[in-house]
Amino acid sequence: MFRLCYALLALLCHCEPVSDSCGTEACAASKAKDFWAKIKSEGLQLNIRPKVFEEKSFGGLPARNRTAMVLSDDVFYGRAIMKIPRQALLTYETGRKPKLKDQLTRFLFEEKKLQKSFNITSEDYIHLLSLAYTLIAERRDSDSVFVDWLKATENATVFALQLTHRQQRVLRGTTVEGAIEEMSSRRDLIWQTASNLTFFKKKPVSMEEASWALAVIMRHARVVHPYQDQRETRDPRMYIFPLVELLQVALNPNPVVSIGFQEEIIIDGKREEDVVLQIARRDMPKGEEIFAWPGRLSNSEMIARHGFSFRENPVGIGRNLSQPPSWSDNKESKGRKEYDLYNCSSLDDFEMRFSERGVPARSFIRCYRISWFISNGWYSPALKNRMRELNKWPPPEKYTKSDWLSWTQADAELNRVILEYCQYMRQQLKDTMDANTAEDFRHSKDPTDRVLWHMRSEESRTFKNCVAMSKKIQL
Ligand SMILES: *[C@@H]1O[C@H](CO)[C@@H](O)[C@H](O)[C@H]1NC(C)=O
Ligand SMILES: *[C@@H]1O[C@H](CO)[C@@H](O)[C@H](O)[C@H]1NC(C)=O
Ligand SMILES: *[C@@H]1O[C@H](CO)[C@@H](O)[C@H](O)[C@H]1NC(C)=O
Ligand SMILES: *[C@@H]1O[C@H](CO)[C@@H](O)[C@H](O)[C@H]1NC(C)=O
Ligand SMILES: *[C@@H]1O[C@H](CO)[C@@H](O)[C@H](O)[C@H]1NC(C)=O
Ligand SMILES: CC(=O)N[C@H]1CO[C@H](CO)[C@@H](O)[C@@H]1O
C-alpha cells in the first residue's frame, strides 16, 4: 500500500521529489495504517474497552454518563494490562522528525541553553520543552500517523487559563492563586524559546500552538518509570501516549488504584521488545475499570489544571513548604541519605497539606519531626524503629519514653507551624472575598463558576478544620 502510494504520486506529479510526505489524504491514511500495523506486530496490546458509567453530581459538576475504560479480559497478577511499544509514544527520543531531534538535543541537553540564557535548571522545564516541540511538529505534519489522536485533542485547554477576569478572582487567596501565572509562564517559555530552533525559523511557533502543546502535556502526559536498571539514577518522566483509547482512561489520585507505567525491555520468543507496560498488581477480572494517575495534585490543583476534582484525594490541599535547615540539594549527601531512611526523600515531603477534615499529611508530620530532631541535636538513628509514633497525629496526651521532653518540644513547634499556616490561609481566604462576589458565585448556574466555587469552599473548610484541630492540641 505504502509503495503503491508513492508510485501513484510519482505518476501524477513528476516534479515531486521523493520525500517522506505524501500530499494526499489517502496516502496519509495508508501511511498511518502501515505504522499501526507495524506497532501491532511489535506487541501493542491494550486490553481495554469502553463502558458507560453513571456518575452522580459532585464537585460542582452535574450528574452525567461517563465513558470509562474497563478490562476486556481477565489479567492475572504480574501480567501486563497494557503493553505499548515505545515507538508508539510521543517523546523527544521517539520523535519522528530527525532534524528537530538533533536541534533539541543540542539546544536543551548539550549546550544547556536553557540554563545559560534563562537560568532554568529544572528538569521539568527541559522535558516540557522537548515534549512541546515534538508535539507541535507532529501536529503540523499533515501525514502524521497520530492524526486521530491529534484530532481528538485539538481543543485541549488548561482550565485556569480559560477563566474570565471575573472568574479569576475566585482563585485569589486560595492555594492555587499562582496557577494562572505558573501556567502562562510555561506557555510563554514554549512560545519564546521556539525562535531559537532553526526547525521553526520558517514558520514560527504561534501562541495558539504553544497553548495547545502546554494543555496536552498538562492534561494527557503520564508518568512513566524508567527501565529497571535506571530507577536509581533517573527520575520518572512524562510521556505522551498518542492513542485515542487512552484518552478515555479516567484519572484516579490513589496510587494503589491507578497503576503506573514503566519502561521495560522484554523478550517475546526470540525478539526483544522495547515497551511501556502497565502491570497488574493483583488478579483483575474482566470488566474492572482501569485508571491512570494524575500526578501529585490536590483537588485545587486538579481543578486549576483539569477543571474537576475527586471525592477522595490522598494529596491534601496546601503546598506551603517548610524546608529543613539541614536540607541539601545533593541527593548523595549524608544528610539526604539519612532523610531517605524515613521516606523524606524529596522536598515534597515537607509540604504542608491537609485533608478536608484538617488532618495534616502523615509524611509532613514524620519528616518535620525528623528535621526538628536533627536541627536541635536530638536526632538518633534509633528513631528508625519508631515509625508509628513519628507518623502519629494528633500526638498522644503523654509520651512515656525517656526522650519525652524532645518529642513534646518537637510537637509544640510542629503544631505552631501548622496553626500559623492554617490561620494565615483562612484569613487570606476571608480577605480576598467580598459579599457580592460570594453571592454571585454561590447561585451561579454556570458550570465553570460552580467548579470554582466548590474549590474555594473546600479550601475554606479545610483550613477552618485545621485551625480547630490544631487549637485542641495541648502541649
Ligand atoms: C445515563 O444513561 C442512562 C441510560 O441510557 C439514562 O437513563 C440516564 O438518564 C443518563 N444519565 C444522565 C445524567 O444523562
Ligand atoms: C539563578 O537561579 C537561582 C535559583 O533559582 C538563583 O539563586 C541565582 O541567583 C540565579 N542566577 C542568575 C544569574 O540569575
Ligand atoms: C473542537 O471545537 C470545534 C469548535 O467548537 C468543534 O467543531 C470540534 O468538534 C471540537 N473538536 C473536538 C474533538 O471536540
Ligand atoms: C517508604 O516507602 C516505601 C516505598 O514507597 C514503602 O514500601 C515503605 O513502607 C515506606 N516506609 C515508611 C516508613 O513509610
Ligand atoms: C507559608 O505560610 C506562611 C504562614 O505560615 C506565610 O507567611 C508564607 O508566606 C507562606 N508561603 C507561601 C509560599 O505561601
Ligand atoms: C539561547 C538563546 O538563543 N536564547 C534566545 C532565544 O530566543 C529569545 C527570544 O527570541 C531570545 O531572547 C533569547 O536570547
Q: Decide which of 292, 324, 346 is a domain's last residue.
A: 292
Among protein residues, the one with the nearest Cα to ligand 3's atom 4 is 155
In ligand 3, the atom with minimum distance to the C-alpha of 151 is 13
| One domain for residues 287 and 324 | no
| One domain for residues 373 and 449 | yes
pLDDT at 165: 97
54 lines ligand 1 (CB under 6 A): yes
| One domain for residues 415 and 276 | no
* Site to substitute for ligand 4 among 343, 386, 390, most atoms within 8 A of C-beta: 343
Q: Which helix (H) or strand (E) holds 202?
A: none
| One domain for residues 390 and 263 | no
| One domain for residues 324 and 286 | no
Q: Which amino acid is at 469?
A: M
Residue written as grid cell 501511511: 31
**Which whole number is the average pLDDT over 465-472?**
97
pLDDT tens per residue, range 84-128: 999 999 988 887 888 999 999 888 888 877 777 776 767 788 889
| One domain for residues 153 and 282 | yes
Q: Supply angle C-alpha 26, 32, 36, rounded to 5.
A: 145
Q: Is residue 12 over pLDDT 60?
A: no
pLDDT at 18: 41
Q: Which domain holds residue 325?
A: 316-472
pLDDT at 20: 60
Q: Is residue 269 over pLDDT 80?
A: yes
Q: Give the CA distances from residue 313 to residues 217, 301, 330, 415, in Å, rounded to whole numbers and listed in that order.
A: 22, 11, 31, 23
Q: Find the 120 Cα to ligand 2 centroid distance in Å.
A: 8
Q: Is residue 14 over pLDDT 80?
A: no
Q: Decide which of 257, 292, 327 is a domain's last residue.
A: 292
Among protein residues, the one with the nearest Cα to ligand 3's atom 7 is 155
Q: Decide which of 240, 258, 292 is a domain's last residue.
A: 292
Q: For the domain that residue 119 is a member of, what is the CATH number?
A: 3.90.1410.10
pLDDT at 111: 82
Among protein residues, the one with the nearest Cα to ligand 1's atom 12 is 64
Nearest to 432 by CA among 468, 394, 463, 466: 463
- Strands 250-251 and 291-292, how do they pair? parallel
Q: Is residue 7 over pLDDT 50?
A: no
Q: Find the 343 Cα to ligand 4 centroid distance in Å.
A: 6
Q: Is residue 433 part of a domain?
A: yes
**Which whole number is the average pLDDT over 387-398?**
94
Q: Is residue 255 over pLDDT 60?
A: yes
Q: Is residue 331 over pLDDT 90?
A: no
Q: Is residue 310 part of a domain?
A: no
| One domain for residues 384 and 439 | yes
pLDDT tens per residue, range 285-322: 999 999 999 999 999 999 999 999 999 999 999 999 98
Q: Is residue 177 over pLDDT 90?
A: yes
Nearest to 204 by CA among 190, 183, 223: 190
> What residues are in contact with ligand 4 under a 6 Å CB criterion?
343, 387
| One domain for residues 377 and 451 | yes
**pLDDT over 70 percentage in the chain:** 95
Ligand with an atom nearest the CA of residue 121: 2
How many structural domains are present in the chain? 2
Q: Is residue 320 part of a domain?
A: yes
Q: Is residue 276 over pLDDT 90?
A: yes
Q: Give the CA distances from residue 427 to residues 167, 432, 435, 460, in Å, rounded to whole numbers and listed in that order.
A: 20, 9, 15, 10
